[in-house]
Amino acid sequence: KAVAHRISSGQVILDLSSAVKELVENSLDAGASNIEINLKEYGEEYFKVVDNGCGIAPDNFQVLARKHHTSKITDFSDLHYLTTFGFRGEALSSLCALGSLTVETRTKNEAVGTHLTFDHSGSVTSERKTARQVGTTVKVEKLFSTLPVRNKEFSRNIRREYGKLTSLLNAYALMAKGVRFLCTNITGKNSKSVVLKTQGNLSIKENIITVLGLNTFQCLEPLSIRISECCTIEGFLSKPCFGSGRNMGDRQFFYVNGRPVDMPKVSKLLNEVYKSSSSKLYPIAVMNFIIPATSYDVNVTPDKRKVFISDEHSLMLSLRAEIEKIYSPHQC
Ligand code: ADP
Ligand code: MG
């Protein structure tokens, strides 16, 4: 049973970025306005996420890392009206099965915090009082140490995993309003580098300047298009003839109702239309698709990065028409 749990956990937590993503989403769900992500050796040794959110009440300690324990969903029909990021209650349980989990937390009703350790099955193995502010720290040491093959792969690809993680954190930092992000990485004997730092800006515009830089921001134009009865896109798109020399991924950010998602088809569409005017560059994009909760489903894959949108085909056609209006008339 333990082995089966490890294997299924490895399907929820695919890599470093999906692990950290779960923790950051928990912090956002907890209403944090300050989220700090600390990595040791690019996350290979440990990663931890420190927040100033609501904290975890003592009633929940024992069940916290049990599979399918969640405080966020009370009725199955809620699945259609999700407003929080989490809802499966699988992240902490999976992280326990894959590495060593410790949690430190305090709610406003407690005078002191509690430090908890867990075993690989998700049971609490120790509990002691500790001084801390209201909020939660979740630390995972030696991710994948319980899956030898995955662990080897993880060590071998750690720099690439780290790159993927930083672009994911950028995606959250761009869209979050009023949330300060700090991500640091410690390597060797104590050399610390700041990977990401934002000030809790209140607009996406300011976030873009902080995260992607003023030069990038100056290439962009605000975007607000209605592509159907129920779908609008808000965000920023690079002006005609301005773009990134680098290919896709790290300069294109897509969201559904503020949730970062992968949209390979949209990315391909942008690149294609853009290419007809400029052969060398790729468009830069920060695009938030605003769609009613009943018209899409992110519950498709455990990491919730994949999204099904109803009537996607006609949305893509209207989107193409809109993007062509922006790019096609220009020849760089
Ligand atoms: P889910 O997010 O799907 O509910 P998780 O396994 O990610 O499941 O988390 C389990 C529970 O632990 C959450 O429902 C929440 O009650 C609590 N929790 C986890 N992280 C935090 C946090 N940073 N702040 C407050 N509560 C948290
Ligand atoms: Mg969660």
Indicate which CATH number applies to the domain containing 285: 3.30.230.10
In a domain, 203, yes or no: no
In a domain, 173, yes or no: yes
Residues 11 and 89 in one domain: yes
Residues 79 and 144 in one domain: yes
Atom of ligand 1 nearest to the CA of 53: 24
Ligand 1, pocket-test mutation among 72, 92, 298, most atoms within 8 A of CB:
92
Residues 31 and 74 in one domain: yes
Residues 187 and 222 in one domain: no
Ligand 1 centroid – CA 127 distance (Å): 18
User: In the 8-state DSSP scheme, what is residue 126?
Assistant: E
Residues 170 and 222 in one domain: no
Residues 189 and 318 in one domain: no
On whether the pTM is more than 0.80, the answer is: yes
Successive 10-residue mean pLDDT values, the chain, 332 residues: 73 87 93 97 96 96 86 53 60 94 98 97 96 98 92 92 93 94 94 94 93 93 91 93 71 90 91 82 92 77 73 90 89 80
Ligand 1 pocket by Cβ (under 6 Å) = 22, 26-27, 30, 51, 53-56, 60, 64, 69-72, 86-93, 136, 138
Number of structural domains, the chain? 2
Residues 184 and 221 in one domain: no
In a domain, 205, yes or no: no
Residue 187, amino acid: T
Burial (CB count <10 Å: 0-12, 13-18, 19+), residue 263: buried
H or E stretch at 34: strand 34-40
In a domain, 162, yes or no: yes
Indicate which CATH number applies to the domain containing 19: 3.30.565.10
Protein residue with least CA distance to atom 19, ligand 1: 26
Residues 233 and 175 in one domain: no
Residues bordering ligand 2, an ion, CB closer than 5 Å: 26, 86, 91
In a domain, 163, yes or no: yes
Looking at the CA of 50, which ligand is closest?
A: 1
Residues 250 and 303 in one domain: yes
Expressed as residue numbers, the domain containing 46 is: 2-197
Provide the pLDDT for residue 53: 97
Among 163, 197, 231, residue at a domain's last position = 197
Ligand 1 centroid – CA 144 distance (Å): 21
Residues 111 and 63 in one domain: yes
Q: How far apart are CA 90 and CA 25, in angstroms?
A: 13
Ligand 2 centroid – CA 155 distance (Å): 25
Provide the pLDDT for residue 304: 67
In a domain, 281, yes or no: yes
Among 166, 197, 228, residue at a domain's last position = 197
Residues 54 and 169 in one domain: yes
Residues 121 and 184 in one domain: yes
- Residues contacting residue 110 through CB under 8 Å, at least 6 positions apart: 55, 58
Provide the pLDDT for residue 311: 82
Contact in structure between 194 and 183 (CB atoms under 8 Å): yes
Among 197, 222, 251, residue at a domain's last position = 197
CA atoms within a 13 Å half-sphere pointing along the CA-CB vector of 104: 17
Provide the pLDDT for residue 74: 52
ipTM score for this prediction: 0.99
In a domain, 332, yes or no: no
In a domain, 156, yes or no: yes
Would you tell me how many other CB atoms lie within 10 Å of the CB of residue 183?
24
Provide the pLDDT for residue 307: 78
